[in-house]
Amino acid sequence: MQLSLLHFNDLHGRFDQLPRLFTLIQRARIAAQQSGSQSLLLEAGDSSSREVWESKATQGRANFALLEAMGVQANVLGNAEIQLGGREALAKLIASVHFPVLAANLLNLTDPTQPAVPKLKASHLMELNGFIVGLVGVTAAFRDDYEALGYLAEDPLQTLSREIAALKAQGAKLIILLSHLGVWLPEEEPKPTLLTDDKIAAAFPEINIIIGGHSHSVLREPLAIGETLIVQAGSHGRYLGQLDLTLDLDRGRILDHTYILHSAEHAPPDSTIASVVELVREEAERVRKAG
């Protein structure tokens, strides 16, 4: 089976980039369809920003409305979304969209058997023509800040042991981690105290793909840790990542892959998403005035 994974991360409220980014998304989707490939559009957190008035006024709902309009099929919460408001605001944000919002290691402080807020999911199964893909999300653990909001930030290593086993038990052949932990690259200064995507990949070889965010890393080629491929698409909507996979249907192994990091710099803006951005901004202004 052929599968095209399209991804972006860390928009931080750059609304004006979205029409250009969507043009790239549509081109990639059409190409995948014409070649008989399946495609998934995934987002790896921090679409919002407390420094951007539209995000602040709507507590992230403006951003999530645009993610939905662009056809995002799953995402992971970033720290920007988590810290925009209290539990009521986060619950309202997640309830505002139809795609699964993931953060397996963000739990209810008073009852750690429950997610931080209703409808927040730890993992999700997607069926693509009978082939089952398991998605799991983990986010950066700012423990003290999150506890003040009523959340428990669980150690992602503990979380992933549980969730990967559950996805495998439900028949998942391919495991994709949506991560807002960041990645350490070999040319950078070591970060021994941080749990980053490269360490996750070494600890969990069962994970096939890590689609990352948080560190704003521009990975022009996947970082391979064992057989796990790690990708990340910079920040602020400047890039769309496209990881094309050839998969063994029986075992879920990646037989071959190619990767392109598309630059949105010269992409023409999509007129439909540009109109949606305008409408979302008008609604955000009404919310701001009402507040």
Domain of 283 in residue numbering reads as 2-290
* Whether pLDDT at 45 is above 80: yes
Instruction: Calculate mean pLDDT across residues 29-51.
Output: 96
Q: What is the pLDDT of residue 38?
A: 95
| Tokens coding 96 | 């505002």
Q: Report which secondary-structure segment, H or E, holds 40.
A: strand 38-43
Q: Is the pLDDT of residue 110 over 90?
A: yes
Residue 216 pLDDT greater than 70, yes or no: yes
Is the CB of residue 42 less than 8 Å from the CB of residue 5? yes
Q: How far apart are CA 59 and CA 82, in angstroms?
A: 10
Q: Are 119 and 94 in contact (CB under 8 A)?
A: yes
Q: Is the pLDDT of residue 185 over 90?
A: no
Give the number of other CB atoms < 10 A from CB of residue 115. Answer: 21
* pLDDT tier for residue 100 given thresholds of 50, 70 and 90: very high
Rounded to two decimals, the pTM is: 0.96
The CATH number of whichever domain residue 78 belongs to comes to 3.60.21.10
Structural domain count of the chain: 1
Q: Which region, left, alpha or beta, applies to residue 45 given φ > 0 means left and ψ of -120 to 50 means alpha?
A: left
